[in-house]
Structure 1
Amino acid sequence: MAGIGFRLRELMRADTLSGVLLAYSFAGIIGSGPWVLSIVGILLIGFISTDSSSVPYFVGQFQISVTYLMAISLILTGPLQLIITRFIADRVYEKHEELVLPNLIGAICLVITVIGTLASLCLIYFFAGSVLYRLLMLSGLIILSTIWIVVIILSGLKAYREILLAFLLGYGITVWASKELGKFGLEGLLSGFVVGQGILLFMLMVVVFNSYSSNKLIAFDFLRRNQIFPSLAITGLLYNVAIWADKFIFWFNPQTSTSIIFPLRGSELYDLPIFLAYLSIIPGMAVFLLRIETDFVEKYTKFYGAINGGASLRLILEIYEEMVATIRRGFFEIIKVQGMTIVILLALGDKLLIWVGISPFYKVLLNIDLIAVGIQVLLLAVLNLLFYFDYRKDALYLCFLFLASNIILTFLSQYLGPVFYGYGFALSVALTTVVGMVIVSKRLNLLVYETFMLHYKSGD
């Protein structure tokens, strides 16, 4: 996201309050991306008032359906997300940007073919509901999966206004269309969501086509053997499964969930607090975008540029110290901003829940989730640094730890009872983040030595 970050940082250089607020607002929305904005959308649709007594029932079915669409699409595209990210980053670094667009189209075709086929079989043989409902679920899954892939390429663009407009219009239309079509029941609500997401995807593709050009329509270079990094694919899968593992455990435990539309189950007790909590990461993601993805990348590029350019050891060490200081400052700012956000929301817990029409009974779980998702922003920063320095195995081990600890601790929390719900996810995120920060610290301490040794060996 450095491309967007550099443009947003220009707003801050105006040294005005409005410039800073605009920069952080844009960064929060763009940095959070479709993942958080989708949560905003389905929650807003849930708050829509209507005279029809049957709609609340359909809204619950709709929210669970969309939640599953988000979960499955993120998990299925997880391996490809990191592979295509690495491919695009390498091509941009090599100044072969003409390869970006055709390979993006290739990745989209792969997603549509593979996920479309798997989803069609599952919807035909395992799902209840009308034919229209199944078709809408299939369309929604394909559109969301495609959006996750397209968003990858947007991170390197500087057209933040166009991207922001696409997000706002796309999700605005999603909420409006679902409201207008809600009178037609579950299929109407889901139709509104699919239409809105389809428009969002179209607008994002327009931004991409305006930013890149190529003589080829489609390419699958990213699937060549020398372009596939198995560790990245596994890491992408593990991370996305880890994020959703605790939710699936609560969904498919009969004591903590109810059947919605076979085979989909939901846990109102667990789902509402965690999704509300995810809205709190917007300030933290703004700092992540502006400090880690932008300030750090600038120092990172300068550091390796100095090494490749044959700069003196003294200059390289000075740049290295600047880069480490930037990383440290980025972590501190995330902790400061996200921590302040959490404290405010903890203080407003009861009032916030009443305002959104949710029982204060959820306050304790909401408080735990607020802390958990705040720590998750730090985990994202840790993983981001490991990917930049190409410590792929470390990132893989961290995501495995995240998944394993989340599963074990979530089952333990269910065994201990409702008082401990949410602690499984929170402790797993905290454990993984602490271990990750220790790894990053050790790697940074050895970075200069390892970099020069690798150059020396390659020179031999």
Structure 2
Amino acid sequence: MAGIGFELKKIVRQGTMASYLQVALSGAMIVAGPWLITILAIGLIQRFYRGALAEGPDLFLATVVYTYTGSLLSFGGVHYLFSRILSDLLYEKKERQTLAYFGWFLLLVGFLSALVGAGIGGTIRPMAIRNPLAYRVCAGFFFLFVSLHWLFIVYASLLRWYGRILAIYAGGMGLFVLSSAFLSPLWGVAGVLAGFTLGNLGILAGLTILILKFRQEARGLVERKGFTEVFTECTRGVWKYMKTRGDLFFTGYFYYLGIWIDKILFWIGKGQQVEGTWFRVFPPYDVLVYYTNLTMIPGLVFFVVFTETGFATILRKFLEGLSRRTYLNILKEKRRLYGESLKYVRDLGLFQGCITLSTALLSFWLIPSSPFPGTVGALLWGVFLHLLYFVLTSFLFFLEAYRGALVTAVLFFGVNLLVTLVSLGDGQGVKVFSLLGGGAEGGKVAYLLGGNASGGFPFLLPPGSGYLLGTFVAVMVSGGIFLVTLRRIDSRIFSRAAE
């Protein structure tokens, strides 16, 4: 899955400002396309069509946030499994089958997300807006399109047409802005959501055309074998992966739970309910999370272009030489693999560290002020550690250390959960844990964790402390597992071969 990184790396080697700009834009869209489009599009709407959101700004933003959160929490494990299947098919030179599996996962996620989307649209009752029915319908379709969007992004990473991908995203954003400008005077905030939904649909349509054109040789697979046979083969293949790669599947869910659990707890414990919905928001924290997470994008692009491609190259060379080198040479190459891997992590850490430090120094200008001392710093350095954790987890996936990745993801989630309960303080930990843990027993545990906070200060620890400590523990544990796995990589491979 590092293929797009190798293509972008070729562009970087041209050494021109235009090539650097092209790589930066294309890489950003590959690693964070839906996220960036959301941010830019909302920014344009707030800048030029502020009146369109006047009747329900919290409603619109809550719908967007809950949609992205819900889609990741619902299908995070599916994304990981899909990525692994694609990687194996490419390695086995079975490119034709990638499109069949892509279609299988689209059907699965499309069906399930349509049900969830219908549930969202059917359970919210927006008030004081011009067209509540249109808003509810668009909310359901928006969840469907976003859930499918993640799969398209995974598959689009196989394509070498990064310029066309960038153009499709730009066109989708333009469609959103124009359709919102046209519909918002008629429907108000429902028109903005309708425009946003149409923009996402436009991106999906563009990527579909691009994928079908790229995989022309695979388009006749269903016609030759028949839909039923192809669907059955894919179902058996996915079930086989579920039995052998279950750790990877569950890692995806715990990873996204770890990312979102602190936000969810603050919504429950400190947030305010959006009128006419079950959505809860906590703007003082949500806004800071929104801004600080932007600092990860440069590091993600660096990872795709340099870190991932570099590690994939040296690992492949090491593995290919196992069958023809002497044991002493294998040990020598293993030490080289060990040293080079640490160098790639170090270089990425230095790059992202400069981004984080610069943002921290300029936070008074770049990030809205926080009513909670220490929160901006906790979130900024939490994002820094999060990127390192992401990189180390990706390396564990390369080494097929899925059990270690799962353990780390569970720890990330657990530490963030417990520390955030402590930070809630003044009885809110009791309230939240009672809801999550079930009644009185959950309340007793939460009281010991932080429900006995005293005084008027609203938090025992700064908001974001759970995220910071969770990522710190995840980096330490995943780093340790990665180093141990590297040291034992040759013995693991030879023992498997003996079996």
Task: Give 1:209's aligned amino acid.
Answer: L
Q: 3-state DSSP class of the match of 1:374?
A: helix
- 1:367 maps to which residue? 377
Q: CA contact under 8 A between 2:415 and 2:470: conserved in structure 1?
A: yes
Looking at structure 2, the residues matched to 451 and 351 of structure 1 have their Cα atoms a distance apart, in angstroms, of 52
> 1:182: Cα distance to partner?
3.4
Aligned to 1:113: 111
Instruction: Write out per-residue CA displacement over residues 369-398 of structure 1, whole angstroms, 9 at most, x where no aligned residue.
Output: 111112111111111111111111111111
Which gives a bigger RCO, structure 1 or 2 (Cα 8 Å, sep 6+)?
1
Q: Is the 8 A contact 1:250 1:257 kept in 2?
A: no
2:153 to 151, 156, 160: 151
Report matched runs for 1:122-271 at 5 Å.
122-124=120-122, 126-129=123-126, 130-183=132-185, 184-212=187-215, 213-214=217-218, 215-217=220-222, 219-220=230-231, 221-224=233-236, 225-228=239-242, 229-253=245-269, 255-271=270-286
Whether the aligned pair in 2 keeps the contact of 1:173 and 1:196 (CA below 8 Å) is yes
Change (3 A) 1:345 1:175: farther
Amino acid at match of 2:168: A
Aligned twin of 2:76: 78
In 1, distance between residues paired with 2:26 and 2:343?
21
> Which deviates more from structure 2 when the two are superposed, residues 152-161 or residues 435-444?
152-161
Offset at residue 39 of structure 1 (A):
3.6
Which protein shows a greater Rg? 2
Q: Residues 20-31 of structure 1 correspond to what in structure 2 (within 5 A)?
A: 20-31=20-31
**Residue 387 of structure 1 contacts residue 395 of structure 1 at CA under 8 Å; is this kept in 2?**
yes
Query: For the aligned residues, what is the CA RMSD?
Result: 2.3
Relative to the length of structure 1, the TM-score reads 0.90
| Cα separation, partners in 2 of 1:312 and 1:23, compared to 1, 3 Å | farther
Q: Against the structure 1 CA distance between its residues 179 and 402, is the aligned structure 2 distance closer, same or farther, given a 3 Å change threshold?
A: farther
Alignment partner for residue 313 of structure 2, among 276, 290, 298? 298
Offset, 1:27: 2.4
Q: Is the 8 A contact 2:411 2:474 kept in 1?
A: yes
Whole-angstrom CA distance in 2 between matches of 1:76 and 1:428: 21
Offset of residue 33 of structure 1? 3.2
Q: Indicate if the aligned counterparts of 2:31 and 2:300 stay in contact, CA closer than 8 A.
A: yes
Match of 1:279 in 2: 294
Return closer, same or farther for 1:337/1:447 CA change in 2, 3 Å cut-off. same
How many residues are matched? Answer: 448
Whether contact under 8 Å (2:168, 2:206) holds in the other structure is: yes
Given the alignment of the two structures, is residue 377 of structure 1 paired with residue 384 of structure 2, yes or no?
Answer: no
Amino acid at match of 1:216: L
Q: Report what 1:310 is aligned to.
A: 324
- Partner AA of 2:235 in structure 1: L
Residue 389 of structure 1: aligned partner: 399
- The CA deviation string for residues 60-110 of structure 1, in whole angstroms up to 9 with x for no partner, is 321111111100111111121111111111111111111111211111111
Q: Deviations over 1:346-382 (max 9, x none)?
A: 12112224xxxx4564784233211111211111111
Structure 2 equivalent of residue 405 of structure 1:
415
**Distance apart, 1:222 and its partner CA:** 4.2
Residue identity in the other structure for 2:349: I
TM-score by length of 2: 0.84
Task: Return the alpha-carbon distance in structure 2 between the equivalents of residues 326 and 166 of structure 1.
Answer: 37
One of 414, 419, 426 as aligned partner of 2:424:
414
State whether residues 59 and 189 of structure 1, in contact with CA within 8 Å, keep that contact through their aligned partners in structure 2: no
Alpha-carbon distance between aligned partners in 1 of 2:12 and 2:316, rounded to the nearest angstrom = 21
Q: Deviations over 1:189-227 (max 9, x none)?
A: 101110111111111222221222322345444432323
Letter in 1 for 2:248: L
- Distance in 1, matches of 2:165 and 2:327, equals 41
| Structure 1: gaps (5+ residues) | none
Q: Distance in 1 between matches of 2:276 and 2:24?
A: 40
Distance 1:413 1:121 in 2: 32
The one-letter code matched in structure 2 to 1:194 is T
Unaligned runs of 5+ in 2: 127-131, 426-452
* CA distance 1:33–1:243, change in 2 (3 Å): same
Aligned-residue offset at 1:337: 1.3
Contact 2:58/2:274 (CA < 8 Å) preserved in 1? no
The one-letter code matched in structure 1 to 2:462 is F
**Contact conserved, 2:373 with 2:462, CA < 8 A, in 1?**
no
Judged with a 3 Å threshold, the aligned counterparts in structure 2 of structure 1 residues 397 and 63 are, in CA distance, closer, same or farther, namely same
- Name the amino acid aligned to 2:155: I
